[in-house]
Amino acid sequence: MKVPPFQVKAFGPEAVLLEWPAAVREDILTEILGFRDYLIGDCLEGTTWELVAIYNSLMLYKGKPIDMEPFERQLREWFDSYPGPATLSFQEWELPVCYEGEFAPDLGEVAARLGTTAEEVVRRHCGTSYRVYGIGFLPGFLYLGGVPENLEVPRKETPRLKVAKGSVGLASQQTGIYPQESPGGWNVIGKCPIPLFDPVRKPPCFISLGDKVRFQAVSEAEFNLHRIEAEVGVYDFKKKYGHAKG
């Protein structure tokens, strides 16, 4: 029998937490997502289960008491028969961001801290693709991994009480888009006109866990055009197809 790479912990009486080694790694995420899909598709019975995968963990919430010992044994058996994540496929999304004027109140300060120009910060931010390691905190908030070292700046000392919906934030090894207006301590360096979460759209969040995101710098005029296109539902998402092993 395979030795599972995860620890099983009870998370209250109605949920179980599986924890892989504490690291932010694409291979771990891929294995978790594959196992999650296998559990949903081939193992778990009943309709109340909800599974939340993020970074190195997978929570299985039953909504009813779980008999822990037999369930843990069962999980190990399921992992033994899990064929691996080979068939998973991910997409890469290109999201427009305007890094100009009032959309980017902290861009100058970020550039100064990094000892470079605003243009260079934008070039670095757009120059890489970011893996979606989790969706949570707020509806449609993406936990993005892969911020280059030459973009690492600390959080703002004083958080803002209001950060506008769509704001693109940067703080230490994290970058992300505020899916709704909220308080926040990240440096705001741009704004994305495409809503990441829309409850009437199916699915409400078009980006999936494991996908990749790349930012594309756009002008204010393009920003306004894309915002209207997204509102009326004709925005053409530029996506490239990727693969788990790709």
In the complex, which residues of this chain contact another protein (CB under 8 A)? 9-15, 17, 19, 22-24, 48, 50-57, 59, 61, 63, 68, 134-141, 143, 179-180, 197, 199-200, 203-205, 209
| Closest distance of CB 58 from another protein, Å | 8
Of the two residues 53 and 97, which places its CB atom closer to another protein in the complex?
53
Q: Is 144:132 a contact under the CB 8 Å cutoff? A: yes
Of the two residues 36 and 104, which places its CB atom closer to another protein in the complex?
36
Of the two residues 25 and 113, which places its CB atom closer to another protein in the complex?
25
Of the two residues 15 and 217, which places its CB atom closer to another protein in the complex?
15
Distances (CA, A) of 213 to 98, 238, 245: 15, 11, 17
Of the two residues 110 and 205, which places its CB atom closer to another protein in the complex?
205
Comparing C-alpha atoms, which of 6, 227, 212, 201 is closest to residue 98? 227
| Closest distance of CB 1 from another protein, Å | 25
Beta bridge partners of 9: 17
Taking the C-alpha atoms of residue 213 and residue 63, their distance in angstroms, rounded to an integer, is 33
| Closest distance of CB 55 from another protein, Å | 5
CA atoms within 13 A on the CB side of 191: 21
| Closest distance of CB 142 from another protein, Å | 9
Question: What are the structure tokens assigned to 31, written together?
Answer: 């294995």
Q: Which residues, 6+ apart, have CB-to-CB distance to 131 below 8 Å?
A: 26, 29, 144, 145, 146, 210, 211, 212
| Closest distance of CB 47 from another protein, Å | 9
